[in-house]
Amino acid sequence: MTPERVLALAGLPTGPSVALSGGSVSDVHRIGRWVVKCHPDAPPGLFEAEARGLRTLANAGARVPAVRWAGPEGLVMRYLAPGPADPVGLAEQVARVHRAPADAYGWPSPVFLGPFPLPHSPTSHDWSAFWRTHRIEPLLKATRSRLGRLGPAVDDLLDRFEPPAEGPCLIHGDLWSGNVLASAAGPALIDPSVWYGERAVDLAMMRLFGGFGPRFWQAYRALCPIPDAVEESLPYHQLYFVLVHVYLFGAGYLGHVADIVHRYR
């Protein structure tokens, strides 16, 4: 599947194509006013899930690229011209997302963490059980052969540590600095893995690879203070993202798994 073919499916004219950065799954191209994502080996449902996530974030007050078309073949979004960084404006958007209320943990449609499809799960009011059963254990199953002796250590951590629960809210689900655009219209969020969870999941990913500086955190904390117990749980919640990196990229991330396990001994 080519970007030009995806544009044709969306009923849009084609033109010169410029490759953009697209992460570990999609081929991403700009064609005129549009950004087109496609890939011949993308998991079924991936692009439709991303479109739903973008629309949900927009409804919660976040700036995102407007979705024009989504299907099994790819995704077409409006191109956002680059602009200056605005950490305070970004903090306001993330705070609006995290203030979006939810009745329970979960999501009614498929969820992907990068290209990894998470099994469909029932909603739950028990964060610890939902997190372990429907988020961590699928990743443990996929990575156990690589984890070796770290596998039982992670199991033990899950048995011992009870994460704090502030209550379900909307989360981006994969909020690292590479999924933030500094656009001429202001900060925008891209490539979401949207579901209803604890905001600690987003905070954990934001801390994992950095890129959100002091001005962002000062503004975010003023809007949404972070309790000490939530701060302490962030490495625990990073396990979700580290395990998917073990699955996608291999043993280079095992040291980070070990660091998380040892932190809570």
8 Å CB contact between 48 and 192: no
8 Å CB contact between 10 and 75: no
| Contact partners, residue 207, CB within 8 Å, separation at least 6 | 234, 238
CA-wise closest residue to 101 among 57, 167, 193, 194 = 167
Take residue 178 and report the two structure tokens written for it: 């590479």
8 Å CB contact between 97 and 198: no
Mark whether 174 is an active-site residue: yes
What is the DSSP-derived secondary structure letter of residue 65? P
| Contact partners, residue 98, CB within 8 Å, separation at least 6 | 169, 170, 171, 199, 202, 224
Catalytic residue from among 27, 174, 191, 202: 174
Helix, strand or coil, per DSSP, at residue 204: helix
Catalytic residue positions, numbered: 174
